[in-house]
Chains A and B, each alone.
Chain A
Amino acid sequence: MTSEEAIVTELTNKFHVLDGKTQVRRPRRIFSEVAYADFRPILDFAKDKLGFNYLNMITGLDEGDNLALYYHLSKNNAITLNIKTFVTKNNPVVKTVTDVFPSADVAERELVDLLGFKVEGLAAGSRYPLTDDWPVGEFPLRKDWKMKGEV
């Protein structure tokens, strides 16, 4: 069994919701999908028990009725665990992960600005990356957002 498969086994043994939702797509790339309600214990387990101590990136996606998130974690800088989760576009509220990964700060601000997520628990601070006078309610990475005015 490869290290990647061993990780998948540990994950699925601990969290049955990951059964059939976690695959090794190629060496060093594990992809997983989970409902947001089940997400946080899996993130904590991956960090504390499986050694995924780097949160390399958070990707936000507009998937129609849902806004999705990928938390890209890595272990020993080699194996990446990419956990996908999602919330509804009507109520895109997620909790911050900066308590366990302080590096998520900028990534979460980006989710707020570009896709309109609401991140609970994110410390007060300057926005990123849009300008201070950016119009309220305009989220450029949403699929229905179109460039206005002259380019």
Chain B
Amino acid sequence: MSGPEDFKIPLGPQHPALKEPESFSIALKGEKILGVDIRLGYNHRGIEKACESKSYLQAVYLIERICGICSHTHSTCFVQGVEELAGLQVPKRATYIRMIIGELERVHSHLLWLGVAGHEIGFDTLLMYSWRDREVVMDILAMVTGNRVNYGINAIGGVRRDISQEQIKDILAALKTLRERTLYYIEIASKETTIIERLSGVGILLPADAIKLNAVGPTARASGVDIDIRRDDPYAAYSEVEFKVITDNHNDVYGRTVVRMKELLESYNIIEQALAKLPEGPIAVRAPRKVPAGEVLSRYEAPRGEDLHYIKANGTEFPERVKVRAPTLANVQAVKKMLEDRYLADLPIVVAAIDPCFSCTDRLIEVKDLDQGETKILDWQKLQQLSIKYNQQRGLDFTAAGKRLQRLMEK
């Protein structure tokens, strides 16, 4: 029978804070986390099975809807696999356009993340400003592709829309603004003591653990693991542009912030290079309806890390099997490690720091206090407020930082 202290507050199924459902069960001893069990799968929609009854062309649109943030990631990963199976020579101009959209997508995703990270630590001014700046890149994506999300730019054999000279001018102007803003955020992140103190030493993932747990993307790179599919297994036109793979040795949430901010600058460089040497010519070749039997492994560096598609063709116009592994799934084990023996108040920012996309994050948190024998269910908002209050008591209050940011932005 339940005691008076033993209560549960059910929340959902609609998500109250972060817009994706999954569930954490956390064993606690006082404030310390002893272990975490993560229940995923709330957003399983059977897309892999559905692909088997769709034509390759239809599957492109289905696959693009795996994720709202990295839709171009999935559609590119899929079409380049199908093109390899069909032996198609995709025109150079199309591969450049795919790369440009891919980097614009990374920019919007990283700026979105910066805002979420700011929000999770109670620095909402940062959220407001970074999301305002994100609108610059969203407008560019809408102008070039016709859509803010789910761009629909990819086709098997190329892309569906060309980029005009006028659009190039607009993209370059937008990049100028974005670079200025990003440099400013990097300055904030490197000088603002409240940010440094709040994020440093939180969510530690040592390099050996990152490799052992097969972490990917900025999560791995912020633990000094120098991996990036764009350089290591190049696709689209990445072998024709120069860029640095950003790594950092902080091994914590602060490092993950630094990596993402510096990656933004690299994305701007890549887009500028691609626009400067955008090859002339067609943007697509005709693709066959039937794809010859065979199998392929396609890889793509998504904003969150490696996206992986395995495609098996049986000679018909329907795929025999499509298997997708999105980067968040690769980083789940790393999150458990990051939370071990840490404080409950650090959970929101540690989970947010892998930039989770469970076709997104949580619905409810089950907290078991082993000393008291209690089980409580907290929603993300309550946990976040607990985290902010806890850290305010330790002197990590973003009110002053927010005001400073606002004053500087008004100048």
Contacts and interface: CB of A to CB of B under 8 A. Distances in A.
A3 B211 CA distance: 22
A140 B40 CA distance: 17
Contacts of A114: 48
Contacts of B44: 129-130
Given A28-B233, A56-B306, A57-B310, A101 B214 contact: yes
A26 B308 CA distance: 17
Contact of A61 (B46, B214, B297, B321): B321
Given A125-B37, A130-B44, A59 B333 contact: no
Interface string B222-266: 000001110011000000000000000000000000000000000
Interface stretch (A11-19, A36-44, A73-81, A86-94): A73-81
B228 to A, nearest CB: 7
B310 A70 contact: yes
Contacts of B211: 53-54
A122 interface: no
A105 interface: yes
Contacts of A129: 40-41, 44
Interface range for A: 35 or more
Nearest to A105: B333
Interface range for B: 20 to 34
Interface in B306-340: 306, 308, 310, 312, 321, 323, 325, 329-330, 332-333
Contacts of B312: 61
Contacts, number: 77
If over half of B's interface residues share one DSSP class (helix, strand or loop), that class is named, otherwise mixed; here it is mixed
Interface string B330-361: 10110000000000000000000000000000
A59 B306 CA distance: 16
B49 interface: yes
B329 A106 contact: yes
Contact of B297 (A55, A82, A101): A82
A103 B37 contact: no
B39 interface: yes
Interface in A27-69: 28-29, 31, 53-57, 59-61
B212 interface: yes
A145 B48 CA distance: 13
B149 interface: no
Interface string B191-208: 000000000000000000
A124 to B, nearest CB: 10
B37 A59 contact: no
Contacts of B84: 26
B213 A102 contact: yes
A74 B64 CA distance: 25
A95 interface: no
A128 B41 contact: yes
B281 to A, nearest CB: 24
A130 B42 CA distance: 8
A11 B133 CA distance: 52
Contacts of A2: none
Nearest to B41: A129
A59 B329 contact: no
A72 B310 contact: yes
A102 B41 contact: no
B229 A77 contact: yes
A127 interface: yes
A125 B228 CA distance: 31
B308 A56 contact: yes
B297 A29 contact: yes
A63 to B, nearest CB: 9
Given A102-B333, A103-B214, A141-B48, A130 B233 contact: no
A59 B214 contact: no
Interface in B95-134: none
A126 B211 CA distance: 24
Interface of A: 26, 28-29, 31, 53-57, 59-61, 70, 72, 76-78, 80, 82, 101-103, 105-107, 114, 125-131, 140-141, 145
29 contacts: A29-B297, A54-B214, A55-B214, A56-B325, A57-B323, A57-B325, A59-B310, A59-B323, A70-B310, A72-B308, A76-B227, A77-B232, A77-B233, A77-B306, A80-B233, A80-B299, A101-B214, A102-B213, A102-B214, A105-B333, A106-B40, A106-B329, A106-B333, A107-B329, A126-B37, A127-B41, A130-B41, A140-B46, A140-B49
Given A61-B321, A106-B333, A125-B37, 7 more contacts: A57-B310, A77-B232, A77-B233, A103-B213, A126-B37, A130-B41, A141-B48
Interface of B: 37-41, 44, 46, 48-49, 84, 211-214, 227-229, 232-233, 295, 297, 299, 306, 308, 310, 312, 321, 323, 325, 329-330, 332-333
The 4 closest A-B pairs by CB, nearest first: A129-B41, A129-B44, A103-B214, A77-B227
